[in-house]
């Protein structure tokens, strides 16, 4: 590696540390302070804020809502995406390009517009303010992530494997279940991680479609910050980070996430 | 693999098979019968429709017209998974997330064979392909040849009515491929299973099959034993596609009493081809084909022409050595003639740039107008009687 290359790499890593990791470190550090306000550098050390946020349902309920919502949206998206992917890859219908564009459209649409639309629409179909409307909104948002990874994996999969299963006596449904699905699985896992994280962090749609009962963690934190400026927010943020890291760790143990993501 | 070690073999009949992809006719009204227990090779260049034909038999493609019958029963409306066929794919298509045992057992499971009986049959078929010790292995950990054997075992274990092989050896290296050709042929003979083998490799088709069906542009060109398609081609395509062939541009100068007189372009020579019925071609330019093994190279051609031989001089333009023999390419003014020279002492006796003379018997020539072929027919008897 030349000196110039080393320098560029150092700059790149430096920028990553300063803009990505450092802010997180600040939040985590502040969450352990014993002051009543968000101050950096933090003063003292206590677990007071953790016991505060984890003992009242004030934060726990939105956290649970967020997890529930992300899991549901990811699941529904998977169920919707899989038939699309199989149809587009294996049947190559005439409007494949157009269909792909439609499925990926939520990526290029500001979610705030989607949120406003959903707000009126869900009221019209008597789902206003319901958790179901929220799940629907988030499903739309995460579908492109699920679609892209599954599509990428499946388009590389050998169609002869499915044909082999058919010649060996397996019907179309069994072939999908036993052969196609395992072939797409890396895409589902990678897409699922992206989808879960997108939903878990999502604010605009949740802001419009939640009420006090269905509020999600990011929305609750936002409104909490308007009136409070204490390290409780930092503590729940730290909890959130831990939830994500533990989740990824478990998935890695189960499926080898690193391998899956690198393979793409 | 039944008790007598033979499979119950079925006959296959393809009648007027037609398959289009949009406006493109991949298979054109193809009819072909395969006898019970026969090993038939579907041979042709890529894009000739041989794979499409096989996929129609498998049920992986739907014919636009025509019928396919197994043991007299039409199967065109039977879905793939009820056809009871076995297929080996070019990519082997082993299931990557299953062990060798699970791969082979897949078809048994689908046909309701479970437990001890399934185990016994898996062991039996793995022994047949010499893969006994690999039951718990994952396909990714196997070599190409081993994957090939597992794919074969997987296709055979269900005792299919017909075994379909789609270029199964093309991914193997030369040495392994030769071994597998011999093994596959022996296995097929032992089991007696009706087999259709798709390949673009003529050596493979000729060495393995009972009969070879040569295809071009979606149609059958010729069906026959390996020796007949080689020695008695019926179309220009078969003549040039199977084996090596020298070719000269010639002019059909005259025809008299069962003898066609041809003149190689750019020369003053005239070959008298007795027994060649090419009266309608007089005045036309056609191709003259000759097999390398019929041609000898000499430097003294005096008097040979009078003995009913064809003689052409040319320059040695290249050679390929195959151990027991060498094939020389002789560049003449009318085209290229190849000559195979056997015997170790004769190999290497000519070198590039040498002026030599090629000589071959007139009755070994083939005349072709691009489509039709005129070959030697012994007409002396008919003439005397007539």
Name the closest residue on chain A to residue B152, using Cα atoms: A164
Pick from A80-84, A108-112, B32-36: least confident: A108-112
The band of A263, judged by pLDDT with boundaries at 50, 70 and 90, is very low
Cβ-Cβ contacts under 8 Å for B203 (sequence gap 6 or more): none
* The predicted structure's pLDDT at residue B377: 83
- Kindly report the pTM of this predicted structure: 0.82
Residues of B in contact with A161 (CB under 8 A): 93-96
Helix, strand, coil share (%) of chain B residues, nearest 5? 30, 35, 35
Rama region for B370: left / alpha / beta (φ>0; ψ in -120 to 50; rest): left
Nearest C-alpha neighbor of A141 from the set A102, A199, A99, A197: A199
ipTM: 0.84
Q: Mean pLDDT over residues B143-169, rounded?
A: 93
The band of A123, judged by pLDDT with boundaries at 50, 70 and 90, is confident
Q: Mean pLDDT over residues B27-48, rounded?
A: 95
Cβ-Cβ contacts under 8 Å for B18 (sequence gap 6 or more): B25, B27, B28, B29, B30, B63, B64, B65, B66
Neighbours of B166 (CB within 10 A): 24
* The predicted structure's pLDDT at residue A240: 87
Give me the helix-helix angle, A217-227 and A57-86, nearest 10°: 140
Q: Which residue has the higher pLDDT, B34 or B352?
A: B34
User: Across the interface, do A160 and B91 touch by the CB < 8 Å criterion?
Assistant: yes
User: Across the interface, do B106 and A165 touch by the CB < 8 Å criterion?
Assistant: yes
* The predicted structure's pLDDT at residue B78: 95
Task: Indicate whether B226 pLDDT > 90.
Answer: yes
pLDDT digits (tens, 9 = 90+) for A153-174: 999 999 999 999 999 999 999 9
The band of B350, judged by pLDDT with boundaries at 50, 70 and 90, is confident
* The predicted structure's pLDDT at residue A45: 85
Helix, strand, coil share (%) of chain A residues, nearest 5? 80, 0, 20
The band of B298, judged by pLDDT with boundaries at 50, 70 and 90, is confident
* The predicted structure's pLDDT at residue B4: 43
> Rounded to an integer, what distance in angstroms lies between the CA atom of residue B356 and that of residue B15?
51
pLDDT digits (tens, 9 = 90+) for B82-137: 999 999 999 999 999 999 999 999 999 999 999 999 999 999 999 999 998 999 99
> Rounded to an integer, what distance in angstroms lies between the CA atom of residue A201 and that of residue A195?
10
Task: Indicate whether B244 pLDDT > 50.
Answer: yes
Computed over every residue of chain B, the mean pLDDT equals 90
Name the residue facing B81 among A158, A166, A182 (closest C-beta).
Answer: A166
* The predicted structure's pLDDT at residue A93: 86
Query: In Å, how far is B113's CA from the nearest CA of chain A?
Result: 12
Query: In Å, how far is A163's CA from the nearest CA of chain B?
Result: 7
| 3-class DSSP state of A185 | helix
Task: Indicate whether A260 pLDDT > 80.
Answer: no
Task: Indicate whether B381 pLDDT > 80.
Answer: no
pLDDT digits (tens, 9 = 90+) for B318-342: 888 877 788 899 999 999 999 988 7
The band of B348, judged by pLDDT with boundaries at 50, 70 and 90, is low
Q: Which residue has the higher pLDDT, B249 or B305?
A: B249
> Rounded to an integer, what distance in angstroms lies between the CA atom of residue A35 and that of residue A243?
25
User: Across the interface, do B85 and A179 touch by the CB < 8 Å criterion?
Assistant: no
Dmax of chain A from CA atoms?
70
Residue spans of the domains in chain A: they are 52-261
Q: Which CATH class is domain A52-261?
A: mainly alpha
Beta carbons of B297 and B339 less than 8 angstroms apart: yes
Cβ-Cβ contacts under 8 Å for B276 (sequence gap 6 or more): B258, B259, B260, B365, B367, B374, B375, B376, B377
Nearest C-alpha neighbor of A71 from the set A147, A142, A119: A142
Q: Mean pLDDT over residues B35-59, rounded?
A: 95
Name the closest residue on chain A to residue B151, using Cα atoms: A164
Kindly list the residues of chain A whose beta carbon comes within 8 Å of any beta carbon in chain B.
158, 160-161, 163-171, 174, 179, 182-183
* The predicted structure's pLDDT at residue B347: 62
Under DSSP, the state recorded for B221 is: E
pLDDT digits (tens, 9 = 90+) for A19-34: 988 988 888 888 888 8
The band of B3, judged by pLDDT with boundaries at 50, 70 and 90, is very low
Give backbone dihedrals phi and psi of B97, rounded to 5 degrees, phi first: -95, 10
User: Across the interface, do B95 and A165 touch by the CB < 8 Å criterion?
Assistant: yes
* The predicted structure's pLDDT at residue B382: 58
């Amino acid at each position: 590696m030349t000196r110039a290359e080393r320098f560029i790499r150092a700059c790149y890593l430096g920028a990553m540390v300063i803009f990505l990791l450092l802010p997180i470190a600040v939040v985590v550090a502040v969450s352990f302070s014993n002051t009543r306000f968000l101050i950096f550098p933090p003063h003292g050390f206590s677990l007071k804020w953790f016991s505060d946020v984890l003992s009242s349902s004030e934060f726990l309920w939105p956290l649970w809502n967020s997890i529930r919502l992300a899991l549901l949206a990811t699941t529904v998206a998977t169920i919707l995406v899989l038939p699309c992917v199989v149809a587009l890859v294996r049947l190559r219908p005439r409007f494949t390009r157009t269909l792909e564009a439609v499925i990926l459209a939520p990526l290029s649409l500001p979610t705030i517009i989607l949120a406003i639309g959903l707000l009126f629409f869900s009221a019209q179909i008597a789902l206003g303010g319901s958790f179901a409307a929220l799940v629907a909104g988030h499903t739309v948002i995460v579908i492109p992530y699920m679609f892209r990874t599954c599509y990428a994996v499946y388009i590389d999969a050998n169609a002869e494997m499915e044909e082999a299963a058919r010649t060996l006596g397996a019907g179309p449904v069994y072939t999908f279940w036993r052969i196609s699905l395992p072939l797409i699985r890396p895409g589902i896992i990678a897409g699922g991680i992206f989808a879960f994280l997108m939903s878990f962090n999502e604010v605009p749609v949740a802001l419009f479609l939640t009420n006090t009962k269905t509020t999600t963690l990011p929305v609750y934190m936002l409104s909490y910050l308007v009136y409070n400026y204490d390290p409780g927010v930092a503590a729940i943020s730290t909890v959130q980070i831990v939830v994500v890291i533990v989740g990824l760790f478990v998935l890695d143990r189960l499926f080898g996430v690193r391998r899956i993501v690198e393979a793409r | 693999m039944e008790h007598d070690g033979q499979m119950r073999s079925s006959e296959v009949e393809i009648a007027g098979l037609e398959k289009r992809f949009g406006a493109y006719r991949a298979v054109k009204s193809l009819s072909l019968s395969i006898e019970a227990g026969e090993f038939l090779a579907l041979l042709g260049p890529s894009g000739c429709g041989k794979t499409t034909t096989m996929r129609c038999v498998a049920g992986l493609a739907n014919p636009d017209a025509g019928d396919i019958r197994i043991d007299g029963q039409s199967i065109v409306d039977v879905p793939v998974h009820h056809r009871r066929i076995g297929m080996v794919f070019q990519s082997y298509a082993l299931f990557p997330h299953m062990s060798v045992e699970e791969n082979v057992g897949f078809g048994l499971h689908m046909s309701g064979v479970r437990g001890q009986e399934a185990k016994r049959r898996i062991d039996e078929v793995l022994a047949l392909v010499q893969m006994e010790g690999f039951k718990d292995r994952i396909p990714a950990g196997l070599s190409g040849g081993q994957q090939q054997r597992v794919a074969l075992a997987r296709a055979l274990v269900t005792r299919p009515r017909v075994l379909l092989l789609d270029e199964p050896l093309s991914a193997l290296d030369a040495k392994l491929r030769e071994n597998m050709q011999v093994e596959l042929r022996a296995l097929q003979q032992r089991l007696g299973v009706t087999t259709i083998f798709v390949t673009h490799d003529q050596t493979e088709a000729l060495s393995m099959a009972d009969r070879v069906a040569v295809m071009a542009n979606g149609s059958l060109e010729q069906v026959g034993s390996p020796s007949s398609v080689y020695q008695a081609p019926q179309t220009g395509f078969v003549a040039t596609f199977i084996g090596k062939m020298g070719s000269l541009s010639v002019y059909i100068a005259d025809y008299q009493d069962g003898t066609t007189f041809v003149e190689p372009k750019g020369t003053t020579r005239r070959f008298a081809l007795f027994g060649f019925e090419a009266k309608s071609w007089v005045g036309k330019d056609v191709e003259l084909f000759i097999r390398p093994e019929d041609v000898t190279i000499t430097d003294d051609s005096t008097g040979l022409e009078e003995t009913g031989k064809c003689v052409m001089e040319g320059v040695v333009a290249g050679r390929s050595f195959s151990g027991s023999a060498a094939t020389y390419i002789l560049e003449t003014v009318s085209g290229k003639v190849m000559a195979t020279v056997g015997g170790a002492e004769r190999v290497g006796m000519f070198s590039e740039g040498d002026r030599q003379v090629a000589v071959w018997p007139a009755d070994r020539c083939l005349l072709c107008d691009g489509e039709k072929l005129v070959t030697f027919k012994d007409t002396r008897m008919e003439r005397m009687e007539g």
